[in-house]
Structure 1
């Protein structure tokens, strides 16, 4: 029996074959997953209906399986207030770098985020039903420390 809270077989398979430096995309319900993620990555569709499954639920499950070195987010355009979900991301990421520290959370513009998600380092892309805007997060897997 698995000890991790993550039980989705395709997600476990992708993470089990990934290593340090590989990326995981968790996308909101507006993200163009088919065209803005690496073609060879494992794609998982958890977008059951609007609002389900939330990005934060997927993030919580993933964090039980792998350490995180860095997280990338796509901020709203200048003039719009910061996406409230970023605070939730920071709270969930606290202490998950494999040594009890906090991974760096980096903001990057939309097209730079898309470019990073399309690179072959992206091993897993998860579509969610999240309806909050700018609720996409790209995680870089860190190192497991003894």
Structure 2
């Protein structure tokens, strides 16, 4: 699918998100978060995509967004201690990132409160309607070669 009047841009990528991705420079980070994440309270720039899931947004973003080759480029919020929740969506994230950019090797986990702090310094947060728990990812932008 294509966005109105432009070629090769996924239709899910609206004008605000496209502008944000273009404004970001090398080393800037963007978070794509689930519906439970307190995005509005933490975002410097908030992009709402409530009708979409994280995997759908992640795939579209990676079709345009180069990942950093020099540092960790995909961070996930680790499951809180004593929380028995399963996170099968992480395997989907891994497959999407692997297919989306050769710079991706593996995601890293960071502790919940550290993840919250990290998103506060992200260039933007994309808030989705994702229902899966712990379905939050931070991407670090690389360069176009």
CA RMSD of aligned residues (A): 1.7
Contact 2:52–2:130, Cα closer than 8 Å, also in 1 = yes
Map Cα deviations across residues 75-123 of structure 1 (whole Å, 9 max, x no partner).
21234355111100000000544xx24244110011100111111xx22
Question: Structure 2 matches for 1:13-52, cutoff 5 A?
Answer: 13-37=19-43, 39=44, 41=45, 43-47=46-50, 52=51
Q: Could you tell me which residue of structure 2 aligns to residue 4 of structure 1?
A: 9
Q: Secondary structure at the match of 1:114?
A: helix
Q: How many residues align?
A: 134
Gaps of 5+ in 2: 1-5
Larger helix percent: 2
Distance 1:81 1:29 in 2: 16
Contact 1:67–1:144, Cα closer than 8 Å, also in 2 = yes
Distance 1:33 1:96 in 2: 25
Q: Secondary structure at the match of 1:73?
A: strand
CA positional deviation for 1:59: 0.4
Q: Could you tell me which residue of structure 2 aligns to residue 55 of structure 1?
A: 54
1:117 correspondence with 2:119: yes
